[in-house]
Amino acid sequence: MIDTAELLKIFNRHRGDAIVVPGRGGRHWVNISGKPDLDVPLGDPAMGGHASFALGLAMALPHRKIVLFDSEGDIMMGMGVLATIAEQKPANFYHFMLDNECYATTGGQPVPNAKAVKYDALAKGAGYPDAYAFDNLETFETNVERILSKPGPVFVALKVNPEVNNTPIGQRKKWLKRSALQSIEALRREIGIAT
């Protein structure tokens, strides 16, 4: 199992000027990233949609590298997105998936067939040309630069430690430093899109 914050710190060394949709890694990423205007932390607009949002970004901005930190719970809610991504073949899209085997924000209940699902195999079966799976930080660190230098779409399943939260939603500490809308507006300004 991998510590998500440590994983993101390693990724950050190889980020370059990629646009990052940090997804379920957002609570850590907002404190690690040095390029907040190229980040799109959205919180949770509606579960299951991060991959297709990032796909849309990748298709709209084919000359920018788009990196997503998805989750297995999100993928489970809309697994067909893997086929859509594979069909569109965005060469600039890097699909990392944080798999903690549970719904951590609702108390840690397991996702369906939590320990047995091979998400890299699902991605390959859906048509991704390349898919990987790592369950330790050292292997990830060894491979991440090479993965990011390959043409996308690339899928990387990562076994991470669950960070279970049982606090009622209304009492949780807010981690977003700006709203999802503000992040999108900042990105559009940064890359020269009129808002």
Q: What residues make contact with other proteins under the rule CB under 8 A?
A: 40, 42, 44-61, 78-81, 83-84, 87-88, 180-181, 184, 187-188, 191, 193
In whole angstroms, the minimum distance from the beta carbon of 94 to other proteins comes to 15
Residue 136 or 182 with smaller CB distance to other proteins? 182
In whole angstroms, the minimum distance from the beta carbon of 193 to other proteins comes to 4
Q: How far apart are CA 43 and CA 112, in angstroms?
A: 23
Residue 50 or 159 with smaller CB distance to other proteins? 50
In whole angstroms, the minimum distance from the beta carbon of 147 to other proteins comes to 22
Residue 53 or 132 with smaller CB distance to other proteins? 53
Is the CA virtual torsion 59, 154, 9, 12 positive or negative? negative
Site of tokens 């990032």: 54
Q: Is 13 helix (H, G, I), strand (E, B) or coil?
A: helix
Transcribe 74-91 into DSSP letters.
HHHHTTTHHHHHHHH--T
Cα-Cα-Cα-Cα torsion 15, 20, 23, 29, nearest 10 degrees, comes to: 50
In whole angstroms, the minimum distance from the beta carbon of 90 to other proteins comes to 11
In whole angstroms, the minimum distance from the beta carbon of 137 to other proteins comes to 29
Of 11, 21, 68, 60, the closest CA to residue 42 belongs to 21
Residue 33 or 92 with smaller CB distance to other proteins? 92
Residue 168 or 192 with smaller CB distance to other proteins? 192
Q: How far apart are CA 128 and CA 168, in angstroms?
A: 38
